């Protein structure tokens, strides 16, 4: 079984490796097989959202969990609204929308409760009080067990930490994106967990990272790193520590801070899923290994959306 961590100060315990369901695709048999295999391998934490494939992702996850719902910590997200005839998704963190969206998600997921319901974004101009009220009422009514936010915006994070009972903040976090690190101590002190999405940086931090750099990322930069810098950095990360696959280094780097409850890479095949589980089961990084890696990577900083 995979090790588990407590989510904030809740009674929810999540496997350190979750499954980000966005990359499951829309081919039903394949998607359901991946979810079922994830459960067999000890993953108990699945994360989806109402906007992934216009709700189809939630439907597939719901079908895959038939008869196994009680084994899973099920997380989904809301805050984006699709209106037929309008272009694109609209941001809507209103109480009315959230309390309506949860019913749609419950129906698609074929369940009567969601373990972790997350606000899928957030701006400083949102009616935050109303948003929090919506989540608190859903919790009271038993539709959700706990709630959190998915945001890297400092002013949004701070507002929810100070005014709500969130148990988690989901942030993109990896060796190539260290922006969340300024928040880890603060969130840990407030008994709020971090969920690290994108821990493999779109595959750059996998064993096929150099191949991806020359194909998918040919001539492209990644956040604070130029293509040339990535060409220089990735071989160093691949070779250190030499006895671990790069995925293991990537996962255990994020999990080194006690604020981080789980990493949630996606998997579009059973092979990827198995490689991720194998990597998580590798030994954690030693203090020296962690310090050496810190010297290799950049300390990034999120400089907008601050009060």
Distance CA 38, CA 74 (A): 13
The residues pairing with 117 across neighbouring beta strands, listed in sequence order, are 76, 147
Helices (H), the chain: 28-40, 56-64, 95-109, 128-140, 154-163, 181-189, 209-214, 227-238, 246-255, 270-280, 287-296
Assess whether 52 carries a catalytic annotation: yes
> Catalytic one among 52, 143, 147, 225?
52
Distance of alpha carbon 205 from alpha carbon 199, whole angstroms: 8
Closest by alpha carbon to 194, among 166, 220, 218? 166
Angle at 102 between CA 98 and CA 103, to 5 degrees: 125
Look at the block and give the residue holding tokens 């189809």.
56
Q: Are 246 and 238 in contact (CB under 8 A)?
A: yes
Closest by CA position to 119, among listed 156, 87, 86, 84? 156
Annotated catalytic residues are: 52
């Amino acid at each position: 079984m995979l090790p588990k961590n407590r989510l904030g100060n809740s009674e929810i315990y999540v496997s350190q490796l979750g499954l980000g369901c966005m990359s499951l695709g829309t081919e039903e048999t394949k998607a359901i097989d991946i979810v079922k295999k994830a459960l067999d391998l000890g993953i108990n934490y699945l994360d989806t959202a109402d906007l992934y494939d216009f709700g189809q992702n939630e439907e597939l996850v719901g079908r895959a969990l038939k008869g196994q719902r009680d084994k899973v910590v099920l997380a989904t997200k809301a805050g984006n609204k699709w209106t037929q005839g309008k272009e694109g998704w609209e941001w809507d963190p209103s109480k009315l929308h959230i309390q309506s969206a949860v019913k749609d998600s419950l129906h698609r997921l074929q369940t009567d409760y969601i373990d972790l319901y997350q606000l899928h974004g957030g701006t400083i101009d949102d009616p935050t009080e109303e948003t929090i009220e919506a989540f608190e009422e859903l919790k009271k009514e038993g539709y959700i067990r706990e709630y959190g936010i998915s945001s890297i915006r400092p002013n949004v994070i701070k507002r929810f930490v100070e005014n709500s009972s969130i148990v988690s903040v989901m942030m993109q976090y990896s060796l190539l994106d260290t922006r969340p690190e300024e928040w880890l101590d603060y969130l840990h002190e407030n008994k709020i967990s971090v969920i690290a999405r994108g821990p493999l940086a779109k595959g750059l931090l996998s064993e096929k990272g150099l191949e991806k750099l020359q194909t998918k990322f040919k001539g492209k930069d990644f956040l604070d790193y130029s293509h040339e810098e990535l060409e220089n950095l990735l071989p160093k990360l691949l070779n250190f520590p030499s006895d671990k696959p790069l995925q293991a280094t990537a996962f255990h780097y994020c999990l080194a801070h006690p604020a981080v409850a789980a990493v949630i890479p996606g998997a579009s095949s059973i092979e990827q899923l198995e490689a991720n589980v194998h990597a998580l089961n590798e030994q954690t990084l030693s203090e020296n290994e962690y310090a050496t890696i810190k010297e290799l990577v950049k300390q990034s900083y999120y400089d907008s959306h601050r009060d």
